[in-house]
Structure 1
Amino acid sequence: MNAPIVDPLQGDFPEVIEEYLEHGIMKCISFNRRGTLLAAGCTDGGCVIWDFETRGIAKELRDKECTAAITSVCWSKYGHRLLASASDKSLTLWDVLTGEKIARTTLQQTVLQARLYPGSLSPSFCLACPLSSAPLIVGLNSGNTTVLPILTSDEAVGVSTLARKPSDGSITYSPCSACFNKYGDLVYAGNSKGEILIIDHKNVKVRALIPASSGATIKNIVFDRRGQYLLTNSSDRTIRIYENLLPSKESLKKLDEYDELQGGTSDAERLKIIGGKCLSLIHEFQDSVTRIQWKAPCFSGDGEWVIGASASRGEHKIYIWDKAGSLVKILEGPKEALMDLTWHPVHPIIVSVSLTGLVYIWAKDYTENWSAFAPDFKELEENEEYVEREDEFDIVPETEKVKASDINEDDEIDIMTVEKDSGFSDSDMSQDELCFLPVKPCPVVPEKQDRCVESSSKLPDSNHTASPLSVEAGQDGHLTNHTPSPLDAVENSTAEDPEGMRLKRRRRPSEKGLELQAEKVKKPSKPIKSSGKLLKSSKVVDPDSSNGNYGGDSSDD
């Protein structure tokens, strides 16, 4: 869409479902940093990567050792690696370009969410949030794990924040959410008391604590792309936005300065005072009428919008707020529960996953503003009679010559330098990114054409009518209509030729063929008598006939 003809007063957020993607049963999704590739984890243990520009499958990653459902997928910063966590307690690191498995490790707990370290081109460790354990730093190559100190002592914070002791004396944990900051030097984790802990994962030390007023369990915690704002989703049905007061780079040095200023206070007070200098609460979002629980909240690509999905069963509703706290749009999808949700890093596009495994793409319904081309342009609501001026079409001699162009045709044009994208602050390393996957052309073999991947993107329009060419005979001899699709050619060919030896094309009969068919219906066919003369027939002779011909012209010797 041309930007000059788009009305700037329209909100820059999606409005309708543009299309949907279908490939098995997908449960979780994630965009790469540029939004050109979309990774989805399936229930059969495989991962599929879509080329988001063409809506086609670019690569499929599958491990024979993993047949359990994928719980989360995460891209590395520059798109060369993909981390997938599965419900069989495994973590698998993939090379996206080659499709090879780099590393695989198995933990003691099922990982609900895993995030790669964002400070390296080829990260070797990740942050894992198990089902009933404190967050872990996992070495993907070595398999070593480090438990983050989110379970602080009674002297440091007052009471333990995650642990609870059942009757048998063992310690169990509530599910905990955690994420890296933009450059990965700190981990922000939320616990069951509604507190946000800032952790130095290299030194395994809690550096700050931000208490919440409600004390509800934090279920989700995520940064925006620039690392300027932090979003939390709590069990009290409230989404909170905090402003990150620490600098993007050298955050640890800033925390060291705060430690020196608060050296004389106790540990509990010192952590809370430092936490007040790290995060500042801006807004709280909630539905005061229905009081619904939220699921998979996140920021828009530019950080101007906040979205959250309804966690109610049978609802596919997406709420959109601005950062000022106003609800601007509610998107209602099919009557299917929503599993995962994400916003495109660059464009106003939302991608959601339903309980049935379909991926829905929400896009903006643009209204073109043609008056932006010229100030005297006028849009008409209906036809009007135009009255021309008296001298409008008079031939006027050319009095002024056209001004010469100021463009120097001898200047060299630079086609090698790539302009930096202002939307990304660290675009200087964009040459190291993997934005698209190369396509290897392969010859079309008729015998193997029916084995091609039958996944494609489809439009969610069920009102298409079948064309006359899509009417064919069913197995019982009755005529059946079906909606034509790109897969019909492959399915029809395999049905007509079960041995797979050749493909048959469906052609429209010519006018002469239609006339011959009409004559067959009117006149009953006569048996062909054997004689010494050459007989010609325009019909197909039955294979069981005495002359043994199977079609075309027939003759008797």
Structure 2
Amino acid sequence: MNGSLSNPFNITYPTAVQTSLHSGALFARFSPCGRFVAAGRNDGTAVVWDLDTRAAVRWLEGHVKGVTSVDWSRHSRFVLTASKDWNVVVWDLASETDPPKRHATVRFDAPVASAAFHPRNSQILLVLLATGDAYVVDLRKSQRSRVELCEPQEDDDEEAQMHRPRSAITVARFDPSGKHVFAGTSTGYVLVFNTRTKTMVGRHKITDKISAVGSVRGIEFAKSGRRVVTNSTDRTLRQFNVPTYPVPSPDGNAEWVESEWEPTHRFNDPITKTAWHAMSYSPDGEWLAGGAADPAAHKIYIWDIANDGQFASTLDGGRETLTYVHWHPSKPSIASTTNVGNILIWHVPVQERWGAFAGGFEEIDVNMEYEEKEDEFDIEDEEEMAKRKMKEEEQEVDIIGLSDGIRKANGVRVNGEHDEDVLWAEEEPDEDVEEWKMKILIEDDQDGI
């Protein structure tokens, strides 16, 4: 199970700590490109680490109170930081200064519990306040708005509405497509909102015959968006299949999916009944990592989703208590943070086997005299080379690229028609393009980072 990673699509889970970054971090998240890690600190700063050089390459100094969350834009150019000082700041890493210039600052009237970029446009933000209010903030010039996500009241009796307690939103996440916002509440519900219209399209009551669910503390998605896992106050992680939601009607009539959610899998520690600080899926969705809230140890539990959610292993990171865990976007690597601010980067130890580089290659323990074959280093015969090129030119090339039933317009792949939610998100696109470059800043030795 823990062999070498020969196929990039054959994702396994890490087993050992590769390096430790001393950053004073409360939590850390990989960038979508996988090269950088952004860490939020309790002193109001955030740090961007380059994993290739194991160095801090940017300090994001803009808050006066602790940072509560960080997020990356889809091509890693922009970093978002949210703080207890009521501010959300978007930083542009393409700027040539350190700290980078502020691309945008959004202020609220309460401490910010979390914030995130829309997966398709960094000018659309999802913000959750410590008061339990969630907002979709649109910074685009043509769509500038700040809309609160509210659960509709169904009671006909106005007096009943006044006495009905309002469920506070405890966690809010975009799904991987960005079309929907999933919000967990203090009463054990998951509310689903359409991002474009801000209307509710789903409401699910988490039910469990084994234990009372309690408040929803965390929501994370598999990259495909077809599975979601929740963390509740009853110290259980639950996985659900994501249903299909109705498209909001143009006339504004509210229609939503109302259902009780039965988990497909439950994940917990039956011995110690430990709580969970965070959880994260592997890139292929076949593994789930859960960061245990164990006060005496740094433990990450790994479950095999592809094998019916069976428990696979426990990673032990020492005595420093775990506070956060995040899986690398494309490799079997995990970043976990400790209560003293260290970031542990986990990997799969690989023993080099030179015999895998060429057929017939043999590994030996002692030096041996090598006998060269007569034609071993001969240049390829020109006649054979010409025949090979002729065969390559005769191969048919698909210049259409997509079948008749599928078209690609403005980067939107649809079946016979445009996806209105995706087109809305890609209106007035941001500056986060794949070709951007981060300038390497070298400081004097006396200034050190």
Question: How far apart are the structure 2 equivalents of 1:20 and 1:115?
Answer: 26
Correspondence for 1:292: 274
Q: CA deviation at 1:79?
A: 2.3
| Change in 2 beyond 3 A, CA 1:163/1:224 | farther
Spell out the pairing of 1:214-293 with structure 2 (5 A cutoff): 214=208, 215-246=213-244, 253=247, 271-272=257-258, 281-293=263-275
Task: Report the number of matched residues.
Answer: 392
Question: How far apart are the structure 2 equivalents of 1:183 and 1:396?
Answer: 56
User: Which secondary structure does the structure 2 equivalent of 1:335 belong to?
Assistant: coil
Q: CA deviation at 1:145?
A: 3.6
Question: How far apart are the structure 1 equivalents of 2:104 and 2:74?
Answer: 18
CA contact 1:104–1:140 (8 Å) conserved in 2: no
CA contact 1:297–1:307 (8 Å) conserved in 2: yes
Structure 2 counterpart of 1:186, which letter?
H
Q: Which sections of structure 2, spanning at least 5 residues, go unmatched?
A: 390-407, 414-428
Structure 2 length-normalised TM: 0.74
Q: Deviations over 1:94-119 (max 9, x none)?
A: 11211111222322222221112223
Q: Does 1:195 align with 2:196?
A: no
Q: Does 1:347 align with 2:331?
A: yes
Match of 1:212 among 206, 218, 242: 206
Correspondence for 1:458: none
Q: Does 1:14 align with 2:14?
A: yes
User: Which secondary structure does the structure 2 equivalent of 1:451 belong to?
Assistant: coil
Q: Does 1:404 align with 2:381?
A: yes
Q: Deviations over 1:8-53 (max 9, x none)?
A: 9x97111111111123x21122222121221111222122111222
CA contact 1:163–1:174 (8 Å) conserved in 2: no
CA contact 2:27–2:323 (8 Å) conserved in 1: yes
Structure 1 counterpart of 2:318, which letter?
P
| Change in 2 beyond 3 A, CA 1:137/1:404 | same
Correspondence for 2:294: 312
Question: How far apart are the structure 1 equivalents of 2:57 and 2:373?
Answer: 59
Structure 2 counterpart of 1:340, which letter?
Y
Correspondence for 1:357: 341
Structure 1 length-normalised TM: 0.61
Q: CA deviation at 1:138?
A: 3.1
CA contact 1:7–1:367 (8 Å) conserved in 2: no
Question: How far apart are the structure 2 equivalents of 1:318 and 1:151?
Answer: 39
Correspondence for 1:452: 448
User: Which secondary structure does the structure 1 equivalent of 2:296 belong to?
Assistant: coil
Match of 1:327 among 300, 311, 314: 311
User: Which secondary structure does the structure 1 equivalent of 2:200 belong to?
Assistant: strand
Question: How far apart are the structure 2 equivalents of 1:129 and 1:295?
Answer: 18
Q: Which sections of structure 1, spanning at least 5 residues, go unmatched?
A: 165-170, 412-424, 443-447, 454-557
Q: Does 1:47 align with 2:51?
A: no
Correspondence for 1:534: none
CA contact 2:236–2:266 (8 Å) conserved in 1: yes
More helix by share: 1
Question: How far apart are the structure 2 equivalents of 1:396 and 1:42?
Answer: 62
Q: CA deviation at 1:452?
A: 2.4
Correspondence for 1:80: 77
Q: CA deviation at 1:175?
A: 5.1
| Change in 2 beyond 3 A, CA 1:398/1:81 | closer
User: Bigger radius of gyration, 1 or 2?
Assistant: 1
CA contact 1:28–1:70 (8 Å) conserved in 2: no
Q: CA deviation at 1:68?
A: 0.9
Correspondence for 2:394: none
Question: How far apart are the structure 2 equivalents of 1:181 and 1:132?
Answer: 23
CA contact 1:243–1:280 (8 Å) conserved in 2: no
Spell out the pairing of 1:26-65 with structure 2 (5 A cutoff): 26-63=25-62
Question: How far apart are the structure 2 equivalents of 1:301 and 1:46?
Answer: 29
| Change in 2 beyond 3 A, CA 1:433/1:154 | farther
Percent of residue pairs identical: 25
| Change in 2 beyond 3 A, CA 1:348/1:404 | same
Question: How far apart are the structure 2 equivalents of 1:5 and 1:202?
Answer: 41
CA contact 1:240–1:284 (8 Å) conserved in 2: yes
Structure 2 counterpart of 1:404, which letter?
D
| Change in 2 beyond 3 A, CA 1:12/1:451 | same
Question: How far apart are the structure 2 equivalents of 1:87 and 1:374?
Answer: 56
CA contact 1:137–1:146 (8 Å) conserved in 2: yes
Question: How far apart are the structure 1 equivalents of 2:385 and 2:322?
Answer: 55
Select between 173-182 and 37-46 the one with higher mean Cα deviation: 173-182
CA contact 2:4–2:351 (8 Å) conserved in 1: no
Spell out the pairing of 1:402-551 with structure 2 (5 A cutoff): 404=381, 406-407=384-385, 432-433=433-434, 437-440=438-441, 449-453=445-449
| Change in 2 beyond 3 A, CA 1:449/1:117 | same
Higher relative contact order (CA 8 A, sep 6+): 2
Q: CA deviation at 1:397?
A: 8.2
Q: CA deviation at 1:244?
A: 2.7
Q: Does 1:104 align with 2:105?
A: yes
Question: How far apart are the structure 2 equivalents of 1:398 and 1:362?
Answer: 46
| Change in 2 beyond 3 A, CA 1:450/1:89 | same
Q: CA deviation at 1:377?
A: 7.2
CA contact 2:14–2:334 (8 Å) conserved in 1: yes
Structure 2 counterpart of 1:449, which letter?
D
Q: CA deviation at 1:359?
A: 0.9
| Change in 2 beyond 3 A, CA 1:48/1:241 | same
Correspondence for 2:405: none
User: Which secondary structure does the structure 2 equivalent of 1:48 belong to?
Assistant: strand
Structure 2 counterpart of 1:312, which letter?
D
CA contact 1:195–1:210 (8 Å) conserved in 2: yes
Q: CA deviation at 1:183?
A: 2.9
Question: How far apart are the structure 2 equivalents of 1:431 and 1:19?
Answer: 30
Question: How far apart are the structure 1 equivalents of 2:242 and 2:75?
Answer: 24
| Change in 2 beyond 3 A, CA 1:62/1:163 | farther
Question: How far apart are the structure 1 equivalents of 2:187 and 2:85?
Answer: 29
Question: How far apart are the structure 2 equivalents of 1:238 and 1:71?
Answer: 23
Correspondence for 2:416: none
| Change in 2 beyond 3 A, CA 1:207/1:21 | same
Correspondence for 1:519: none
Q: Deviations over 1:244-272 (max 9, x none)?
A: 343xxxx653x669x99xx9xxx8xx632
Q: Does 1:302 align with 2:288?
A: no
Question: How far apart are the structure 2 equivalents of 1:180 and 1:30?
Answer: 16
Select between 66-75 and 146-155 the one with higher mean Cα deviation: 146-155
